[in-house]
Every structure is written in structure tokens, then in C-alpha cells.
Amino acid sequence: MRLSIFILLSYLSYTLASRKSSNAQNSVPLASRRSLHVRGGSLQSPVSTLNLIDGEEMSMTESRILSDSTVFPLTLKCSSDSKKVDVAEWVKVNRDRLVSELLPKHGAVVLRGFDVKDEEAFSRIIKSLDLEEQPYIGGNAVRTVVADRVFTSNESPPTERIPFHHEMAQVPRYPTRVMFYCQVPSREGGETPIVRSDEVCEILRGEFPDLYERFKEEGVKYVRLAPMDDDPTSALGRGWKSTFGTSSREKAEVEMKKDGFEWEWKDNDELLTKSKKLSAIRMVDGKEVFFNQVIAAYSGWNDSRNVASRAVVFGETGDLLPSATMKAFIERVNGIAVSFEWKQGDVLLIDNRQVMHSRAPFVKPRRVLASLAR
Ligand SMILES: [Fe+2]
């Protein structure tokens, strides 16, 4: 039997109605039914077409059908002998479709069941995607580089939930794609909930119109007191030295000027920064998205130096965000999220312009690595 690679396109409509109706299921992923094409002979396989088989059931927490019939996230699953598949090569061959078609359309794509052993294997996949590298300048999380273009995901304590955010949306130079890889899934918890920000924006506009108007008209500013050195006990404990890649105050100031920060040096070499006014709602591919760091800052930027409810303010007036409305809004967002549960070897590609991610608390060990690209 000839060697073949089957990609199982795992989509589901999880409503009872769609389960009952195979027609309903079949009508959804038309575009996804097209074969992913492997151009001649680069794999040790005579097969040039990756067949798509849909209909595999996944639990409701792992995928949703959105109102526009898009599967979120899209899972591409290798069901042949993964040891015989060079996943980095496969990604290289299918790069254009992955990056230019599937990722913008679905917002998140999971590669599952491939043999991705370690950080080096993930690093090769990243290089195959052929995207411009995004340095982690201006981000808040403590991270460690473990391979070329690969670093640990936020190293904050496992007991802490990291709220929804777009990666680095609090600075003007942010990555457009975020890639995660799970080397070791946690035994308990540790999911990466994801949510489409166009859906979030729709909820905001329809159910919280006053808040929507203020975000849209005023934008927001982010305020953070950073330590000098990394503080791994905090989810936003990245010291200003690693934030700006320098131990010189003058060089840090050059970086801050570039991004339009206001700043003040404090006792103990701490640094108080206030971002310039940034949009809270933006247009991406013709859709309005809730692109910002508002939820993360408002509900998560708490530590010995910072108070979350003061970490983000309206951009014109400097007013604090209205607490009761924010609470109700965040609850609604959590309610439409997909709680992505990691399996060993999973690679998750996220379009950072239109999808927010977060992290559930977990029990160690867990090793999820990340890479950023423009
Ligand atoms: Fe993140």
C-alpha cells in the first residue's frame, strides 16, 4: 500500500442540529475540502496530494462553528505514520496556503499528530513558515530563548490565569502571527483559550454600546511599573532591562521614544511607563476587531507594583474603565472562547491580528513554547 499522508480536517458543528444533519456538516468547510498540495517529490512519498477527511468529532471545547460558518480553530491532523513525515518540509510546501489562506480565514490553525519532538523541531517549522522575525521588545512577560526564534511562553506562576490578550498589542510594533508548540502538556489545566476578536467586537457593539463608543473614539493607554530585573513571580514581571534589551537607561529611553511612551524613573530603579494612545478597535481584513490589551491589563496586570484596574485608561480623558460594565463584558467574552487543550506535539498558529489567547492555570510540568512573526 503506497505511503500516503492524510490530513484529517477536523471541523464540527457541535449543535445538536448539525450533528443530526450530515448536510449541515458538509455545507460548512467547502474551501477546506480542497486538497493541500505537496509539490513534487520533496517528501519521501510518491503521493502529491494530502487528502482531507472531515467529520472527525472533537469535544465541544476544542472547536466551534462561528456565525459566518468558519471553523475555529481549524485542525489539520496527520493520520499516517508521523515518523515518516518531515513536518517542517510539509509546512514549507504548504506554506502559502497555510499562511495566506487558512490562517487569515480561520484565525487559528492546529497541526496535530505530527512528530514534533522538541524545540529544534519547532524552530525548523517556524523557519519553514518563512515569516519575518518579530523580536520580543516591549512585551511584559518573562521568557527564555530556547532555540532559534523560539522561547518559553509566559513563565508566570502556574496558579495564575493569564487573561485574554493580543500578543504585544500594548506597543505599536506587535507580531501579526503567534506560533505555539506543546512539548509537554500539563496533567491538569494549562489550556490555551482562544477567541475571535471580530466576534468580541460584535458583542461589544451590540450589548455594550456605550463602552464600544468610548473605546472606538478615545482608544486607550497602558500604564505599567516595571522592575529593573525580571520578576518571575509576576505575569507582567518583565524587567525594563529585558523589555528593552539593554541595561542602559539611555538606550531604554531611545526605545521608549520610538514607541511614543511617556516614562518616569522611580526608586529602586523601577520604571513607570505610559503608552501613547493606542486604538482599541481596529479594522482587519474588512472586519472590526477588538484589538488591544484591555482585558489582560484590566483583569491581569496585578502584582506587587501594579493595580490592574488602573493599568489601562481611556486614551483621551485618562478615565478609568467602568468596572461593572467591564465585568459583564469580560464574562461574555469568556463565554464564547474555545478552550484549546494541548496534546504533545501540537503546533498552534494564531493570527494575532484577529484572535486573542489566554492561559488557564495548571499543574506542573507543562512546557509550551512560542515564536512571534510579523
Ligand atoms: Fe501571550
Give me ligand 1 centre to Cα 293, in Å.
10
Quote the pLDDT of residue 160. 86
pLDDT digits (tens, 9 = 90+) for 266-312: 999 999 999 999 999 999 989 999 999 999 999 989 999 999 999 99
Give me ligand 1 centre to Cα 73, in Å.
17
pLDDT over 70 percentage in the chain: 80
Quote the pLDDT of residue 288. 96
Residue 38 predicted with pLDDT over 90: no
Neighbours of 150 (CB within 10 A): 23
Give me ligand 1 centre to Cα 62, in Å.
19
Give me ligand 1 centre to Cα 288, in Å.
21
Give me ligand 1 centre to Cα 372, in Å.
10
Quote the pLDDT of residue 45. 31
Query: Residue for cell digits 455594550?
Result: 208
Residues facing 271 on adjacent strands? 226, 265
Q: What pTM was computed for the model?
A: 0.81
Angstrom distance (rounded) from CA 237 to CA 142: 6
pLDDT confidence bin for 54, thresholds 50/70/90: very low
Grid cell listed for 74:
481549524
pLDDT digits (tens, 9 = 90+) for 4-25: 344 444 433 333 233 333 333 3
Averaged pLDDT score across all residues of the chain: 83
The segment(s) of the chain belonging to CATH 3.60.130.10 are 137-177+184-343+356-366
pLDDT digits (tens, 9 = 90+) for 67-87: 888 889 998 887 666 777 888
Query: What does each C-alpha distance from 133 to 28, 174, 371 come to in angstroms?
Result: 34, 11, 8
Query: What does each C-alpha distance from 336 to 67, 70, 162, 359 come to in angstroms?
Result: 12, 14, 17, 15
Give me ligand 1 centre to Cα 140, in Å.
9
Residue 216 predicted with pLDDT over 70: yes
Q: What are phi and psi of 33, to 5 degrees?
A: -75, -20
Quote the pLDDT of residue 120. 97
Fold of 137-177+184-343+356-366: Double-stranded beta-helix (3.60.130)
Quote the pLDDT of residue 138. 64
Give me ligand 1 centre to Cα 1, in Å.
44
Q: Are 140 and 306 within 8 A, CB to CB? A: no
Give me ligand 1 centre to Cα 358, in Å.
6
Instruction: Give the contacts of 96 (CB within 8 A, at least 6 positions apart).
Output: none
Quote the pLDDT of residue 21. 32
pLDDT over 90 percentage in the chain: 63
pLDDT confidence bin for 144, thresholds 50/70/90: confident
Q: Are 163 and 299 within 8 A, CB to CB? A: yes
Quote the pLDDT of residue 43. 28
Lowest mean pLDDT among 52-61, 65-74, 98-107: 52-61
Give me ligand 1 centre to Cα 87, in Å.
24
pLDDT confidence bin for 41, thresholds 50/70/90: very low
Give one word for 49, left, alpha or beta, with left for phi > 0 and alpha for psi -120 to 50.
Answer: beta
